[in-house]
Homo-oligomer: A and B are copies of this chain.
Amino acid sequence: MADPLRLAIAGLGTVGTGVIRLLQENGAMLAERAGRPLEVVAVSARDRARDRGVDLSPFDWEDDMTAMAARADVDVVVELVGGSDGPALTLARNAIAGGKHFVTANKAMIAHHGLELAGAAEGSGSALKFEAAVAGGIPVVKGLREGAAANRIDTVYGVLNGTANYILSTMEATGADFTTTLGEAQRLGYAEADPTFDIEGIDAAHKLAILASIAFGSRLDFDAVACEGISRVRAADIRQADTLGYVVRLVASAEIDMSDGQPALLQQVRPCLVPKSHPLAHVTGATNAVVAQGNFSGRLLFQGAGAGDGPTASAVVADLIDIARGDAGAPFSVPSSGLEELPIADAGHHTGQTYLRFSVTDRPGVLAEITAAMRDADVSIESLIQQGRANNGGEVLVAMVTHDGPQSNVAQAVELLAGSDSLTAPPLVMQIIED
């Protein structure tokens, strides 16, 4: 058998420990599949003393993880530290500059610095791989970069954040409101003490920007992702959606908009209504799923565990096997210099059905005011539900679903109502995903 592929692992949290456990448990099988043994040479983490439940004694310990990039006895640096900048980025730059292959689960770093790192890796002949950065154990980076490589992809979307999906699908199952459900999720360890990245869609946006670049061959552009979280989704919205045949999901979607005659990139993360017959409607709990629409393949769906030490380790080691097998090709499917710089699309161009929910004071004329704004903005209403009076000070909810039409019209209708003292809160607008 060929020489071992020698690894240095930076970061020994749950994922780093999971990788070591995987390499130990499945080692013989991995060597056979990879054509050579995968051998950990050195590890690094903050606290050497901590008991991680795996035997670290066979490995060199590096107090300074940056030193691993300089070791002559290392072929691949595996970064599982996290953080978009700081030590992780320094390690990545140094490892790649030193001609080492680099594998990471760090979605924030790839979303912000992926282009720079890919360019450097292409220059030094290193592999840069990040399967674990998107959707945990689901091989969707590979699925788009290689499996669907024959296709022009027009749209890629999915459920990319397990915490947000756990909260929404729990609200759906229990009828509880957002705050209660978030608190419960925090208590159970499904949501972090500071849940901002998950519930505001930033984590999903990191992953989306990476997927979009691979799917479209466009330059990675995290800053262009329009992001809206789930904290404004009420139990009542989920009930209304259910009545209308939908569920609510935090959907991350990227699509190519040709309305201006040339390609522009629309990247959005926001709660959407998903028809119950759509595969994403059945994605519950911490599960992730990605849909890609190829011009020859048709709709492809990849689904699995979006996080967790086992699934993430599975993705990290799949990258290592690829490297051991001599995997070639650019990190983002085409060389980074060839990635197209696409302008940001006008979100108003997007057409489809929309759900709007207004919180209004319970008095005559409010419904007339709302429907007049819709008419003036040329928004055609398919169905409208006005709930009976609630207990909280005369607030009433009006929910409606529009016919197909451009988002710009919906935005205009909302704009027209912006000054109205009939509204007790800004309306919640959710796009409806096509089946």
Enumerate A322-341 residues with CB–CB distance to B below 8 Å. 322, 325-329, 333-334, 338
Beta-carbon contact of B29 and A152 below 8 Å: yes
Give Cα A328 to B35, complex, Å.
10
Residue of B nearest to A329 (CB): B325
Q: Which of B217, B279, B325, B338 contacts A303 (CB 8 A)?
A: B279
Shortest Cβ gap from A19 to chain B (Å)? 9
Give Cα A326 to B317, complex, Å.
20
Instruction: Tell me, yes or no, whether A260 is within 8 Å of chain B by CB.
Output: no
Residue of B nearest to A310 (CB): B296
Instruction: Give every chain B residue within 8 A of A138 (Cβ-Cβ).
Output: 300
Instruction: Give every chain B residue within 8 A of A314 (Cβ-Cβ).
Output: 148, 150-151, 294, 296-297
Instruction: Tell me, yes or no, whether A305 is within 8 Å of chain B by CB.
Output: yes
Give Cα A146 to B318, complex, Å.
6
Beta-carbon contact of B298 and A25 below 8 Å: no
Q: How many residues of A contact B (CB 8 A)?
A: 60
Give Cα A139 to B302, complex, Å.
10
Instruction: Tell me, yes or no, whether A142 is within 8 Å of chain B by CB.
Output: yes
Instruction: Tell me, yes or no, whether A32 is within 8 Å of chain B by CB.
Output: yes
Beta-carbon contact of A33 and B326 below 8 Å: no
Beta-carbon contact of B297 and A150 below 8 Å: no
Beta-carbon contact of B35 and A329 below 8 Å: yes
Give Cα A1 to B411, complex, Å.
47
Instruction: Give every chain B residue within 8 A of A338 (Cβ-Cβ).
Output: 32
Instruction: Tell me, yes or no, whether A347 is within 8 Å of chain B by CB.
Output: no
Residue of B nearest to A136 (CB): B297
Enumerate A137-158 residues with CB–CB distance to B below 8 Å. 137-139, 142-143, 146-152
Give Cα A330 to B30, complex, Å.
13
Instruction: Tell me, yes or no, whether A406 is within 8 Å of chain B by CB.
Output: no
Contact with B along A279-321 (1 / 0, CB 8 A): 1001000000100001111111111110010110111111011
Please give 4 more A-B residue pairs, beta carbons under 8 A apart, in addition to A33-B217, A151-B314: A26-B151, A32-B217, A139-B143, A139-B146
Closest 7 A-B residue pairs measured CB to CB?
Answer: A139-B147, A150-B317, A297-B314, A137-B297, A301-B303, A296-B314, A296-B310
A-B contact pairs, 7 of them (CB 8 A): A30-B149, A137-B300, A150-B315, A282-B282, A296-B317, A301-B301, A326-B326
